[in-house]
Structures are given as structure tokens and as C-alpha cells.
Structure 1
Amino acid sequence: MKNYFNNLKLRNKVVILYIFSVFLPIILTNIIFYQVTTNNVKEQKMNDLSKVLNQIKSEFLESIEHAVGISSALYTDNKMNEFLEKEYQSSSEYIEAYDTYLRGFNKYTPVFSAIQSIHFYTDNPTVVFSGGVNPISTLTKEEEWYQALLEKSDSIPLVTKTSSNHSRDTISVIRELNFFRVYENATKIVKIDIDQDMIDHIFENANLQGELYLLNENGGIEYTTNSLINWKEEVVSFQEVTKPEKVITLEENYDINNYLTNWKIIAVLDESQLLDNVSDSRKFIFYLAFFNFIVPTAIIVLISQSLNVRLNEVLKYMKKMKNQHFEIIEGIKYKDEIGQLTSEFNRMSKRINELINDVYVVNIQKKDLDLQRKQAQLSALQSQINPHFLFNALETIRMRSIIKQENETAKIIQNMAKMLRKSFTWGRDWVTVKEEMTIVLSFLEIQKYRFDEKLDYEISIDENAYEVIIPNMILLPFVENASIHGIEPKKEKGIIEIYIKCNSEYLICEIKDNGPGMEEEILARMLESLQVEEAIGDNVGIKNVYYRLKMYYGSDFKFKIKSHSDEGTIVSVHLPLQRNHLL
């Protein structure tokens, strides 16, 4: 990770620093702060709403229980049951009984403010129907509440929505008065209507931003504050109500009372309305985040500009040094580290200019002397292997051998002549691989003639390597060393292998023999002498080739020698590919 950052540009480092030290922390901090604030507000609101809903549940239940209590009192009132059951002989007898038992009955209404009215229903034909006593007529039997009462198999009161005298739907507690089995001559029913204004007061005065629904055991709406629902005139299922996209639902169930089993009060709230108070906090968080962005960003931009611009200026002048332009960076001399770096760069540039003026000319003269010395060494070597006066004599001997049909001798003399002709090309510094291998092959044929069956050789050359340009007389010295030092001392049969091939960048030449090889110390000493550029002295052929390669290619070539005692020697030379060099 450390190395990765070391390779990044300063500008990218500043951007990464800004993202991970300013941008992301501010974003995450404000998001978390906003989420925590929203959740806290939402939780507080939900707690408040839950308390309001529980209060509504309790107040409504209290109203119902008042009516249920009255119905229970009437259910167990023997005289009231006898009054509704008795067969009256005349109207005056009924009126007398009514005055005795029922005329003062409305005393329950002022005591319980939740009670709107109490009505009795009976099918006793001797009763005069008035003053709160109603007949169980055909219309009565068609009422939904009457049908629901008949379906009940127990004596628990029925709580349902009914139509009152004021043509408003109200909630009623209805109960059949059948506690005393001795009175079975007539059907007796008490219907207690809950004050609708009281129910409105309970539901509408609640401090609630959403809508409230009172549902019966079937999920039908018995009461709601939603003015868009016509719950007073028709049965509407809560599942059919259209709700906001993001809705919060609170629910309170009536599971402890048999007469309100599976009834529930549900509050439906739009989440956006619930979190209206958070909008102010959202704006504050936005402004705070904006301020936290602007100030650090401005400071980081100013500092990064101070660093990046001046460093790029120094880098631009340093790159000019590659082209021998040692210029001075002009401008204000600042006192920070970059200012010190600029001052040191200017001092270095001045010093380099002075050194160039003082030393460069002397070094050029010294290099010229070294080149002249090496050229003299090459000329000396050339004079040793370039015996012009022998050429004519060898040609004469070859012709006489042909005349005498001594073909083998003629072939060897011809190869020697080729080598002598090759020596005339020392004036050419570059030849093709094909031309170089001609002289190498001639040398191998001569050695084959000398050693007969003791020497064999193998040559493998890629077709695309023949026209590659290489320095003259580069391969022959290594082949000669392989023959003289590798094969000649060997008692068994010796083999010299030559491989030449190309890759994408280099011409690869490898000369291998299976001779006695070299000891490790001798090889190390020889390689060390090449590196320190000792005088030619010993190993003339190898040093001559190495120094010439270094002179032609500089450090852009590879030269290796691998050798072990009794395992032979491998010389490997990698030369840069050249095909269009001026020969």
C-alpha cells in the first residue's frame, strides 16, 4: 500500500486526502446525524400517537361499558322482564304498569352522558307501543342489527352500528332480555344508543395528524374521521380504503371484552406529515454540511495549488536537463521546503554549467585518446591475422592440388583463402550474419580437416536472422576458442554447437562446446578483467570482441560465459536487432 501511494502524483494524493478526510467524513456524519434525528423524532411521534390512540380506545370502551352495564342491569331485572312479558287486559292496566316501572327509567340518561337513548322492543301484542317501547315489526325484523342478534347463541350484548331517530348512524348496544326462563311468552330486546356527539368528541378532539378508523370484527368501518368515506350510509371495508404511498399504521385491539372481540382502532398517518418537523432539521444539516464543505475545500485547493504548481515548475526544469538545458528557475524565493528545493536546484544547475565548461572539453579529449588507443590495438590485431602475402601462394597451391586431383587438400586451401579474403574486409565495421557465418564455416572446415573424426559441429540459424547487421569478426573468436581450448585438449570426440535466433528485441548468438571447461576461479577472474577494462594482455580474442561490442552498443547488449570443469563452455551474446545499418 505504501509503494502504491509513492507512485501516485501529488495532485491525486491531495484528491484522495480530500475524499477520505473531508468529503466522506462530512457526508457520513451528516447522514448519520440526520438518520438519528429522524428516528428520534419518529420514535417520539409514534410514542405520542400510541398514547393518544390508547386514550381514544379507553374513552370509547368506557362509553360502551356504560351501555353494557345498563343492559346487564335490565337483563337481570325481574320486574322489567315481567313488565314486558305480562299480558295486559286493557290499555289502562298497561299505562298503570308503565308509570310504575318505565316512566322513570330515563334516569339512566343524565347519569351516563355517553347514552343517547334507550329503547325496548317486544312482540307482546297487549303492550301499547309508545314512550320508548317499540313493536318487533316486519321492518324491525329486516334491520341488520336484528338479524345479527338472532344469529348470536349466547347472552352477550351485541355492539353494532344502527340508525337512530335523527337519521344518523350511531353505535348501539343491543341485548335480548331472556335471563329469566319463566318469561318465554314474548321476545324482549333492549337497544341502547351511544351518544353520537360523544363519539365524535372522542375521535375528533384527539391531537392526531392522520385518520382514525373504528373497525368491527369483520374489518368493516363502524366509525372514521376520514370525510371521504361514506361510512354512515354503507358498509365499507378497511382494506378498500386508499392509503398514502408511505403510510404508518398504529393499531389498538379490543381482545379482552367478549362483546368487542376483534374490534380495533387503527390510526393511519402519512409518513411525510409525521416528519414535518424534521424538515427544519434537514435544512440546518444541509447548511452545516455546505459550510463544512466550502471552508475545507477552499483551504485544500489553495494548499494543493501552492504545492502542485511549484513542484511541476521544478519538474519541468529538471526534465530540460535531459537535453542539456541547465536553466535557472526565476521567481520569488519562498522559505518552505519547495522553495528550498528550488534554491538547491538553481545552485545545482549553476554548478553543472561550471563543470561542463571546466571538465567537458578535457573529458572529450581523453575519450578521443582512448578511442585512438583502442583503434591502434585493433589495427595491431588486424596485422596479425591479415597476411596479404600468403594469399597468392595459397591460391597457387590450391590450383596445383586440383590439377593433381587432391580435392580434399584443395578444399582446405580454399577455406583458408576465404579467411584471408575476409581479413581484407577489416575496413568494414558491420556485416550481415550470413557474411559472418561464411568465415566461421570456413574455419570449422579447416579444423574438421585437422581433427578428422575428433571434431564435429552443428549450426542452427533462424531464416530471419541472416540479414541482421552485426559488427565484423564478432563470432569467429568464440568459435576459435571453442576449437582450440575446448576440442583440441579433449581425447574423446568433441562437438561445437552454434545457435543464432531472433526475438522481438535481440539477436541471440550462442556458441557451445563439450570440452574440459574452465574452473570457477579462472572464469571469475577473466570476467572481472573484462569489467575493469584491463589492458588486452591475455584472452586477446574475447577482450577484443567485448571491448568492440561495448564501443558499438554501450550497455545495450548482453554477454555471458558459463563454464564448469568437465562440462564444457557456453558463450551467449545478445545484440540489439539492426537490419538497415550503413555497411
Structure 2
Amino acid sequence: MHRLKQSFNDLKMRNKFLIIYFITVLVPILISNTVFFSQMTTNFIEQKREDTELITEQTSEEFKQLIDQAIGLSTSLYLDVRLYEFFNYEYPNLVEYVQEYNAVINQYRKTVPLYNAIEDIRFYTTNPSMLYAGGIHQLATTGEAQDWYNQLNATSLPTLIERKDEAGVQLAIYRPLDYFTLYTDFQNIVNINLNPRAVNNVLNNAAVQGNIYLLNDKQDILFSTNGQETEDQTVFVADEYDRDTYHVSEHIFRDDYLQGWSVVTVVDESIYTKELFESARFIILISIMNFILPGLLIVYISKSFHTRLINILDHTKKIAKKNFAEYPHVKSKDEIGQLANQINRMTRKINQLFNEVFKANLEKKDLELREKEAQLSALQSQINPHFLFNALETIRMRSLIKNEDETAAIIENMAGIFRNSLAWGRNWVTVNDEVRLIHAFLEIQAYRFGDKLKYRINVEEDLFNFEIPNLAFLPFVENASIHGVEPLKANGKITVNITKTAMGLRFVVEDNGVGIAESTLTTIISQMENQEEMGNQIGIQNAYYRLKLYYKDRFRFKIESEEGIGTTVTIDLPAQDSILEPYLKKIDKQTFTEEQNND
């Protein structure tokens, strides 16, 4: 079994398809066609019989609709009081009669063309003052009229009566006009003649491969699709048809006015056999095509599969050699096409991951480089920083001992700022830490300038633990104090607001200083966006660059200023972590550990 399986695997794909074709297609087709033709013969004849039954039902329903049109019109006439007034009035002269005739009878006769089932409307009356013309006839209870008159049986219901003459069969609805008991001076009857052509159309329009007969309750043939047979045979005899050769379908009406009437369809089933033999030749032709065309198609498909798979295999070898170009021949949506799409998706993902890792490494190295530069700058500017911090703390304590509280407070603020400068390795701090640093700076400036500077800091309580980059806001407060308020002679004011927004946090620092000229402001914004040297504005440029590094394009920054009025800086920071935050917080943790060890 294993050897047979291995031999099959060693065959070319084309030969595999041919073997599969012979086993799964050719032999099953020969067997299935034989079974199919036998079953199809039975189903075909049964379906034809069912179709004949449906056609008989449909023809019966259409004939009944013709009768219902006439019945409906007779009911409208039966309930129209104008007819009763017209027929039960003795007209003194012909002029008055003609006027009433045009107003009543002529209106109904004009509606006849609207009914395809109705050929004519007639009225029979015993009123001697009428002119018997234009559809008005004298009612005679003897002679020719006696036949249909006697069939009315003194009933108010409509009665369907057939009449035969040389022209053929005429179906008509007769109904006495006796609904209103106040009008009994004369006997009046309405007669609605059905259109024989409409009846013939109902039978002839039926798509049946046989003959259809309309029979009355006596089994008399009134109408049929075989006119010659109707002339030779006036009575339908069902037993004359062999049920092995003919299929007879019959629908018997149950309505009161069609009681016992029926529609019968007779079909010679030899017609079905002839159709089957014609279909058999077509099936044989199709079977031959099923043998030849699939073989050619399998050869073509196997060649297509082989070529496409070889191309994909060559492309994967290129990927193995680190050539991440996409496979260019992806047009189909089959499994091979999906495989090619997945290979391209894998290639794009590899490229994307490669670029992301490469970019992340570049950003990491750039950040480390800037931190090293900051460390070097801090080391160059520090002269034994712990000694200076301890000296400041000694001076503050001596000031407190001498009750110089104001001097002690300023020294405490300076120590706090100096302490923060020592913690240059911390990248993230809370808003509370940043505000404490801003407060210390403004206290020192207020001590320096006295009444010249006043400040106000407003922070929503929910934001005290909100984490932000270290020194994200202080450079802008420092810039407002040094470049905005310091040139003023008096009444300088700085306001800091930190509020919660839908985006996250909003920082606004506003001063009433000298402001910035429009051209200068444009230059500053351009230098910040393009990372150009800004001279004495290096503090806010570094802060802006760090925000850009941490948040990319997910933060908002805006400077508004007017000469002589003041300057407003607005910063919106998102609530979610920045891209580099996990890495930066890891550095913070290491730095905090080092500071504890140094202390």
C-alpha cells in the first residue's frame, strides 16, 4: 500500500488528473447516465401528467372567471333601482321613452366592450309601452323563448343556459329583475350573452399537448380545442380512451350555476415517448462531449497548476535569499492565488516588521544619544552637585534658625529646582511633580521682582496623578517669565491652567508681557517644526522636540501672541501612553534606583 501510494505521488500532475478522471468521472458517467435516463423517463411522464392537471385546473379557473364577470354584471343590474323604474313605467310617448333609454339602458350597453367575457346585454319585458329595439325585447313565455324561460324555475339567482344553433354554442346568463318588490307591474328579465370567442381563447391558450373539452352536466361537448372532433362527437365518453395510452384529466365545477359542468383534458402519452427519444440522442451527444472535453481540460489545468506552482517555488527561494519583493503574478482567486496572496502578505509583514524594528532601533539610539549629551552637559555644568545641594540645605536651616523665613523659603525652592535638575534621567513625572517645580520657579521669580510679578496656578484635582514627560511645561513658564514679564516695569502676571479634556490634558500658560512680533512668532514656529537652532529659545525648542519624540503627531501645540498684549501657549496631551513610554519608564526605573544608591 505504501509503495502504491509512493508510486502515485511520483507521477506527474497531468497523469494524476487523468487517473482521477477515469476513476471518478468516466466510469461514474456511464453508470449514472443509464440510471439517469431510466429515472428521467419515469419523472418526465409524471411531470407531464402533473402539468396536465395544473393546466386543467388553470383552464377551469379562467373559464369560471368569465362566468363570474357575467354574474357580477348581472348582480349590478339586479340591484340598480333605475332599471326597475325604467321598466315599470308606462311611457305616454316615444320621445320620453327614448330619453329614458339613453339615460339608463344605453349607459349599460356602452360598458359591454369593457368586459372581454361579455358579448351583449339584452332585456326582456312585458311592458307594452316600450319600443322593442336596441337590446329591449318583448318577453314571450311560449315558442322559442319557452326553453330558457322554463329553466329559470322562478328563481332570483342567475342561471347559466346554453343554446346550440348553426353558428355554434351560445352561453348566456338569465336573471329576473325582482329585487325591489315595489316594482311588480311588469315582468322583466336581464340576459347577458357570453362571448364564444373568449371561451375558445381560454381553451386554445392552454399550453397542453392534447385536447381540452368543456362539458355541461349532461357530458355534452360545448367547446373544445379540436373543432372537427366536436362536430363528429357531441357527447364525451371517457371510457373510450385507453388509460395506458391516454392521460385524462378532469376538473368538475362545484358552483351552483355550474353544478355538474367540467373541463376535461385528454393527452396521448406517445407524444412524451417521442420527446424522450429525441432527448436521448442529445444525452448521448452530451456524454461523448463529457468524455473528450474533460480530458483536454484536465491536461490544460494540470499544465497551468504546474507552471504556477513552479513560479511560486522560485519566488520563495528568492525570499529565502532576503529578496522581499512581492510575487507579481497574482490574478487568480483559487487556492494557488490565495497561496500567492499569503506569500505576498507574509513578505509585506516581514518588510513592515523589519522597518519597524529598524526605525525603533534608530529612535532608541537617537534618544540614548540625546540623553548622553544631556548627561555630559549636566556633568560639565555641575561642580560636585551633592555638595552644592547640601550647602543650600545648610544655608536654609541657618536662615530658619535666624527667623529669616522668606530667605529660607526661597532657598528651599532653589533646592527643589536643583534637586530636579539632578534627576535628569527621569523621563516621566506626575502633573503634581511638574506643578510643584513650576511653583518653586515662580516663587523665586516673585522674590526677585517683588510686586512686579504675580502668578496664579489652577489644576483640576483629577489630573494630579496624570503622567507627563519630565519638564514638559516648565520651559514655557520660564519663557513667559523671562521673555514676557521681565521686560515690563510693573504689573506682570502669569496664569497657568491645567484642565481635563476629551483628548486627555490641556496645559495653558498665559502672560501679559511684551508679546512677540508676528514675524518673530512665525520664525519661532518654523524653527520649532524644522528643528532649527533658536538661540535663546533653546529651552522651549527642546521641550517641543521631546513632546514630538514621545507623542509623535498625537499632541497639539499652539502659540498665540500680540505685541503689547501678551503671549499664550496651549498644549494638548493625549491620555493614552506614547509609543516610547514603556521604554522610557524602564529607563526611569533604572535611574530612580541609581539615585537611591547615590544618595
TM-score (norm: length of structure 1): 0.47
